[in-house]
A and B are shown apart, each in its own frame.
Chain A
Amino acid sequence: MNWTCTQTEERLSDYLDGLLAGEERREFDLHVAACSRCAPLVRQVSGLVGRLRALEPLEVPPQLVPAILDQTLGPRKEKKEGRSGLFGWLRPVWQPRFAMGAVTVMATLLILLQALGVRPSALTASDFNPTNLYRNANRHAHLVYARGAKFVNDLRVVYEIQSRLRLESPPVPASEPEATPPQPNPQQKTERDGKPGRSAIREPLEFAAILIPVPRSLR
């Protein structure tokens, strides 16, 4: 049997992988030993196979395995526990649309606590005693009422004095309001703001402020 160059090329991998046996292998060897075309080919491919098999597999990028696990099993356990643990029950309401409501509730609670006399920074067991809560609330209610009543009374005094002074002072000439301002107590006004030419009764509130010390002069 005459072994040809084409046969050598076709059966080269069989030869290298040990799948050529007996007569065929001998024919192959004989041909290659004598053929100047096939010898280098066998040497080249044989060398290549040896080199390829000796190549180390490539290293896997470090982020690949975590990425695969994240994609298949979902985010890692640590993150999951962090979310579903302590505040997990809040998730259904932890949304922007509830933010305004939450702020309002917080503000109301703060006001209520303030009114009940509970200080969140120094909570004690007695703060939750209903009797204490009632007492505090009652005290605050009375305090607010008393402050309101005092304010109204003060205002009444001021307006009373103001209206009496208005009756005593001469009417303001319409043509020269700045030249002869009606000043019930010019000395007092000058002492206060150092602007004698300024109208004192045009603004009742300012007038009232001036009048706070007036009762002394009226005594």
Chain B
Amino acid sequence: MEPDAQLVQLCLRGEGPAWEELVRRHTRRVYNLCYRFTGNGAEAEDLSQEVFLRIYRTLASYREAYGGFATWLTSVTRNLLVDHYRRTRRDRITDSLDDALPKLEEKHSATRAPDKLALAGELSRQVQQALSHLSPELREAVILRDLQGLDYREIQVILQVPEGTVKSRINRGRIELARLLEEMGLRPE
């Protein structure tokens, strides 16, 4: 398998198949990040498309110094997610009045039908509900660390914050998520 950097070079020379390979290789990572952050399948799809469109247009500006193509891609995704979060903040404030924590018990009604398919496991669904109640800073930190499996250094590059802040956010995010899941009735193993 050719390394990402080589595929990027081929893409810049106008090789369509190289771009197709890059897209196929990384779509799952981008989609998962978008889905876990937004909790909505349709939004995650739209955002994933937007991410790859932006990557495609700015491919020439990619440098190895970013810490690898995957890190750069995740960074672009994260920035778009933050933009999207800010854009839709007003809608969410209205929604959140009807979506307080006690309603977490109504697991099935809270998730749209197509999303149920994606979140096949009960645990996956509960984690998604709990994540949606975390602040965006804590949410993205936990997703990047524990769901995407990135290390602290990569997360630091992506979030553009000091290492201490990264660690603190991951720690607080995990504790908060554990508390939320316990409230939802999920027992520790």
Q: Smallest Cβ distance from B180 to chain A, in angstroms?
A: 10
Chain A residues with Cβ below 8 Å from B175 are 9, 12, 41, 45
Q: Which of A13, A71, A72 has the most CB of B within 10 A?
A: A13
Task: Select B118's contact among A9, A50, A52, A59, beta carbons within 8 Å.
Answer: A59
CB contacts under 8 Å to A, within B14-39, are 16, 19-20, 23-24, 27-29, 31-32, 35
Q: What's the Cα separation between A67 and B50 when bound, in Å?
A: 11
Asked if A65 CB lies within 8 Å of chain B CBs, one says yes
Asked if A53 CB lies within 8 Å of chain B CBs, one says yes
Chain B residues with Cβ below 8 Å from A14 are 167, 171
Contact stretch, chosen from B1-9, B98-106, B181-189: B181-189
CB atoms of A72 and B56 under 8 A apart = yes
Q: What's the Cα separation between A56 and B146 when bound, in Å?
A: 12
CB atoms of B189 and A64 under 8 A apart = no
Chain B residues with Cβ below 8 Å from A43 are 188
CB atoms of B174 and A48 under 8 A apart = yes
Majority SS at the chain B contact face: helix
Q: Smallest Cβ distance from B61 to chain A, in angstroms?
A: 16
Please give the number of chain B residues whose Cβ is less than 8 angstroms from any Cβ of chain A in the complex.
42
Task: Select A64's contact among B29, B31, B121, B142, beta carbons within 8 Å.
Answer: B31
Asked if A129 CB lies within 8 Å of chain B CBs, one says no
Chain A residues with Cβ below 8 Å from B147 are 52, 55, 57
Chain B residues with Cβ below 8 Å from A9 are 171, 175
CB atoms of B28 and A57 under 8 A apart = yes
As a 0/1 sequence over residues 83 to 117 of chain A, the CB contacts with chain B under 8 angstroms (1 = contact) are: 00000000000000000000000000000000000
CB atoms of A53 and B23 under 8 A apart = no
Please give the number of chain A residues whose Cβ is less than 8 angstroms from any Cβ of chain B in the complex.
36
Asked if A73 CB lies within 8 Å of chain B CBs, one says yes
CB atoms of A65 and B188 under 8 A apart = no
CB atoms of A68 and B181 under 8 A apart = no
Chain B residues with Cβ below 8 Å from A209 are none
Q: What's the Cα separation between A158 and B60 when bound, in Å?
A: 91
Q: Smallest Cβ distance from A42 to chain B, in angstroms?
A: 10
CB atoms of A52 and B182 under 8 A apart = no
CB atoms of A52 and B146 under 8 A apart = yes
The verdict on A64 contacting B177 (CB below 8 Å), with A12-B171, A44-B188, A55-B127 known, is no
CB atoms of A68 and B28 under 8 A apart = no
Asked if A69 CB lies within 8 Å of chain B CBs, one says yes
Q: What's the Cα separation between A14 and B175 when bound, in Å?
A: 13
Task: Select A44's contact among B52, B56, B152, B178, beta carbons within 8 Å.
Answer: B178
- Closest B residue, CB atoms, query A10: B171
CB atoms of A48 and B188 under 8 A apart = yes
Binding site for A on B (CB under 8 A): 16, 19-20, 23-24, 27-29, 31-32, 35, 41, 45, 48-49, 52-53, 56, 118-119, 121, 123-124, 127, 142, 146-147, 149, 152, 167-168, 170-171, 174-175, 177-179, 181-182, 188-189
Q: Can you identify 20 A-B contacts, CB atoms within 8 angstroms? A: A10-B171, A13-B171, A13-B174, A17-B152, A41-B175, A44-B182, A45-B175, A51-B123, A51-B189, A52-B142, A52-B147, A56-B124, A57-B147, A58-B35, A60-B27, A64-B27, A68-B27, A71-B49, A71-B53, A73-B16
